[in-house]
Amino acid sequence: MIEALFEYRFLMNAVIASVLAGIVCGIVGTYIVTNRIVFLSGGITHASFGGLGIAWFLGLNPILGAAVFSVMTALGIEFLTDKTQIRNDSVIGIWWSLGMAIGIIFIYLTPGYTPNLMSYLFGSILSIEQFDLILLGILAIFTILFFGLFYRPIQFISFDAEYLKTHRIPVTLFKYILISLVALTIVFSIKIAGIILIISLLTLPQAIANLMTNNYRLMMVYSVLFAIGASLIGIAASWYINIPSGAAIIFALVVVFGLAKIATLIFKRIQP
């Protein structure tokens, strides 16, 4: 496979995408897990299908369409949760079902043959293009800079947002930016694991990291490493065994989680 990296451009693109997505998913996923907004992220993930459908209908780039729709969904959920009496899970469910419905309607209204959406639903990392890498690269740089510059406020938002409010820190603004980052991370990583499985890439590396540490910063670092490692294993499995890359990546993460959990239990038993 190493020789093939230099022979086939699409394989090199897949490896670069794995590293970039691993960085973004590892960092943003830590925020998702520590804030217990996995269900919200799942709602944004499925709602992005609405943006895909509209973009197909208008002849635009599906990823950009999904990105705009997902950010609007994320901001809408955050706004309605804060400003109305509607339950958070109800708001998420409404946007979730609305996005899927809109996507299906517009895809079937698109003239000509119905597009093949398998790469968006289940992932197809080997179909990553140069434009996808540019989007992931920009997002990775912004994510690193944002979390690096505002690490302390983000950490307090995760554990004690009221403390920040007493110091006149714009908590609401931070939450809107962070939830928008969640949305963009989901959409720009869709081709890696797909709409159906992407939420696993945002939670499983963090679950593994949490078995090893409770330190917020270390959780992000470990999550990045596990996300990148599992993605590379998934690519190798996809290349050699000819199986879907998205499913291979998630399966690798589940296996690593199981092994890490067993190792943790053994360590606790032998510890004096």
Contact partners, residue 262, CB within 8 Å, separation at least 6: none
Q: State the pLDDT at residue 219.
A: 92
**The token pair that represents 135 in the structure block:** 């989007």
Q: State the pLDDT at residue 39.
A: 82
Q: State the pLDDT at residue 222.
A: 93
Q: Look up residue 54 and give its amino acid.
A: I
Q: State the pLDDT at residue 138.
A: 93
Q: State the pLDDT at residue 165.
A: 66
Q: State the pLDDT at residue 27.
A: 93
Mean pLDDT by 10 residues, the chain (272 residues): 59 84 91 85 85 87 88 85 72 84 87 68 73 90 93 81 70 87 89 78 90 89 91 82 81 89 81 62
**The token pair that represents 190 in the structure block:** 């869709």
DSSP string, 188-221: HTHHHHHHHHHHHHTTHHHHHHHTT---HHHHHH
Q: State the pLDDT at residue 271.
A: 64
Q: How far is CA 131 from the centre of its chain?
A: 18
Q: Name the CATH architecture for the domain at 2-270.
A: Orthogonal Bundle (1.10)
Q: State the pLDDT at residue 104.
A: 86
Rounded Cα distance, 190 and 120, in Å:
6
**The token pair that represents 175 in the structure block:** 């939450």
Rounded (10°) angle between helices 190-201 and 171-188: 130
Q: State the pLDDT at residue 122.
A: 67
Give this prediction's pTM.
Answer: 0.86
Q: State the pLDDT at residue 231.
A: 85
Q: State the pLDDT at residue 224.
A: 93
**The token pair that represents 1 in the structure block:** 């496979």
